[in-house]
Amino acid sequence: ITAKAIHQMERPILPGVKNLIAIASGKGGVGKSTVSVNLAIALAKTGAKVGLIDADIFGPSIPKMFGVEDVKPAGVRVDGKERIQPISKFGVNFLSIGFFVATEDAVIWRGPMASNALKQLITDGNWGTLDYLLFDLPPGTSDIHLTLVQTVPISGAVIVTTPQDVALADVIRGVNMFKGKGVDVPVLGLIENMAWFTPEELPENKYYIFGRDGGLKLAERLELPLLGQIPIVQGIREGGDSGNPVAWDDNSITGKVFAEIASNLI
């Protein structure tokens, strides 16, 4: 362990942050980053001060989803220390490893490098005072999860899943991770994403592409709250790809779904 690391350990970490919330998923591709971004914006719209750390070190997608891929965060001196100023957009302050390395390079990082990168985003970010700091974690269980729970006192975890059976099996593993060896993070609830699809021309019909109520039933079985069900909506995908998250749009019906999830979380 280096002197610098010890110095960082002794420093009180994130003293101004009230709630630290990990957003996790059992599998990749279930919409965890999409939910993280939209939930952060929905929380900010309630008047809360919100931060977001893209801890999905191996596939950072937050810069693209916020439409700031070409931005480089600036350094600032705070109380004599060099800090990284988070980017502010849609009412959310955020940092991503994607701002500092090309995504293709991050993919080949070994565990310790990725863990150090996450620690730096936490300790060197100029986070100031926040009501909520969300962490968009990599899918599954990894060193990054351990690093996170060992670096900061996580207040709770939210788990995103699709209703599909194969996704649900991995959710149980994810829930157990937050309750495993020496880790005691309360799971605040599940979010079922891609819960159904409604074609525009048949607005009364719901098609349960990935199965029906899988997240709801699992939440019941695990005695965890279901924080919300999000349908498959083309606008959610488009908003993510174009850097215009639906939660920011006051007129978006889907945006209201995220507002409801935020109010269930608060």
Q: Examine residue 163 and tell whether it contacts ligand ADP (CB under 6 A).
A: no
Instruction: Identify which of residues 115 and 193 has a Cβ nearer to ligand ADP in the complex.
Output: 193
Minimum CB separation of residue 140 from ligand ADP in Å reads: 10
Question: Which of these, 157, 34, 59, lies nearest to 114 by C-alpha position?
Answer: 59
Q: Examine residue 243 and tell whether it contacts ligand ADP (CB under 6 A).
A: no
Contact 8, 120 (CB under 8 A): no
Binding segment (CB under 6 A) for ligand ADP, from list 99-107, 175-183, 216-224, 231-239: 231-239
Question: Which of these, 262, 243, 202, 258, lies nearest to 90 by C-alpha position?
Answer: 243
Binding residue (CB under 6 A) for ligand ADP from 19, 25, 93, 96: 25
The count of chain residues that interact with ligand ADP, using the rule CB under 6 A, is 18
**According to the annotation, is 252 in a ligand binding site?**
no
Q: Examine residue 190 and tell whether it contacts ligand ADP (CB under 6 A).
A: no
For 28, 43, 47, 165, 221, the CA distances from 36, given in Å and listed in that order, are 14, 10, 17, 22, 24
For 37, 120, 185, the CA distances from 46, given in Å and listed in that order, are 15, 29, 25
Minimum CB separation of residue 137 from ligand ADP in Å reads: 9
Q: Examine residue 259 and tell whether it contacts ligand ADP (CB under 6 A).
A: no
Both tokens assigned to 199: 């074609």
Contact 210, 164 (CB under 8 A): yes
Binding residues: 26-33
Binding residues for ATP: 26-33
Sites of contact with ligand ADP (CB under 6 A): 25, 28-34, 61, 139, 193-194, 230, 232-233, 236-237, 240
